[in-house]
């Protein structure tokens, strides 16, 4: 279609050139001018979506690169500390904020670059940047406030697989720690998660795109709608696995609770589907494309 439009413009100019060579007619008639404008508009309509698509793919690739860097940082942290960082400090029971610890524990491993934690396709105010993200800040135990703190009501674009698919069962005495470590304190603390707890590093989700809706954004969980991985990449979500590789599946598959869905196992440290755990998905909500 674009080639046809270009050919039409060339045809108009060639005809006008021949007329001017013969010494007849003005440089352009109004009709010819309007035809050229219309053709240019058609070209713009054809090319702009392609350009937009290319930009979206570039942002998605940059997001994957950031997750890859965070994956390397996680590996370094685990090698040095012999355990995964855990997700969050629960402070509400003590009169302070709940806040995430995993980003700050990885920060040194990425050269103190907070920009690595941002998905370029996410809304700008989900950056770990106090100049643009006004939801940052957390009250700390013992007094004071960390202006860079990421609380459970802060916007953030990257999330950590804290509980696997087991969050709904954590209040039960015999519940398993299926993720990479949820709360690091309080009554739901299950102890540290180490490499020995991970049955299949190539299959276990570690990090991914967060929804950025200012509701537990640092947590990745298929069973809770506010903690689903985001579908901002043309309904796909970028995920980083414990072994360091990344994938970009359709988000709907990743959160589908069907007992036959292989993704159930990929959330869990023991690589089991745990079909005794059930949840439901609002598919109308899931179909909404997020930022």
pLDDT-based confidence at 15, cuts 50/70/90?
low
pTM for this prediction:
0.82
| C-beta of residue 177 within 8 angstroms of C-beta of residue 204 | no
Domain range for 251: 49-286
Query: Where are the extended beta strands (E) located within 26-169?
Result: 88-89, 99-100, 138-139, 145-146, 158-161
User: In the structure, what pLDDT confidence band is assigned to residue 6 with cuts at 50, 70 and 90?
Assistant: very low
Provide φ and ψ at 108, rounded to 5°: -65, -30
Token pair listed for 30: 């109004």
Residue 288 CB coordination number (10 Å): 9
Q: Within a domain: residue 91?
A: yes
> Is 4 contained in some domain?
no
Convert the pLDDT of each residue in 209-252 to its tens digit. Answer: 999 999 999 999 999 999 999 999 999 999 999 999 999 999 99
pLDDT in tens, 172-200: 876 788 999 999 999 899 899 999 999 99
Cα Rg for the chain, rounded, in angstroms?
26
Task: Establish if 15 belongs to a structural domain.
Answer: no
Q: With respect to residue 225, please indicate whether it lies within any of the assigned structural domains.
A: yes
Percent of the chain with pLDDT over 70: 89
118 lies in a domain?
Answer: yes
Total structural domains in the chain?
1
For residue 26, is it within any domain?
no
pLDDT tens, residue by residue, 239-285:
999 999 999 999 999 999 999 999 999 999 999 999 999 999 999 99
Is 7 among the domain residues?
A: no
User: Is residue 101 assigned to a domain?
Assistant: yes
> What is the distance between the alpha carbons of residues 73 and 88, in angstroms, rounded to a whole number?
18
């Amino acid at each position: 279609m674009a080639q046809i439009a270009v050919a039409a413009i060339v045809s108009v100019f060639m005809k006008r050139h021949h007329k001017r060579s013969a010494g007849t007619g003005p440089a352009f008639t109004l009709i010819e001018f309007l035809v050229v404008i219309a053709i240019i508009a058609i070209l713009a309509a054809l090319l702009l979506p392609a350009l937009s698509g290319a930009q979206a793919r570039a942002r998605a690739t940059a997001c994957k690169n950031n997750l890859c860097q965070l994956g390397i940082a996680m590996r370094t942290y685990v090698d040095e500390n012999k355990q995964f960082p855990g997700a969050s400090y629960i402070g509400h029971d003590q009169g302070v904020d709940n806040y995430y610890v995993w980003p700050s524990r990885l920060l040194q491993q990425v050269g103190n670059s907070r920009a690595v934690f941002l998905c370029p396709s996410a809304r700008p105010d989900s950056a770990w940047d106090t100049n643009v993200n006004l939801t940052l800040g957390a009250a700390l135990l013992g007094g004071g406030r960390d202006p860079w703190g990421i609380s459970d009501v802060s916007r953030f674009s990257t999330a950590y697989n804290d509980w696997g698919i087991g969050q709904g069962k954590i209040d039960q005495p015999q519940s398993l720690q299926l993720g990479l470590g949820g709360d690091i304190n309080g009554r739901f603390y299950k102890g540290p998660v180490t490499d020995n707890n991970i049955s299949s590093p190539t299959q276990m989700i570690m990090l991914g795109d967060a929804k950025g809706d200012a509701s537990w954004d640092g947590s990745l969980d298929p069973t809770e709608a506010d903690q689903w991985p985001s579908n901002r990449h043309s309904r796909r979500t970028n995920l980083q696995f414990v072994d360091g590789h990344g994938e970009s599946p359709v988000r709907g598959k990743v959160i589908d609770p069907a007992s036959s869905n292989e993704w159930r196992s990929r959330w869990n440290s023991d690589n089991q589907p745990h079909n005794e755990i059930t949840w439901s998905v609002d598919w109308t909500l899931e179909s909404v494309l997020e930022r």
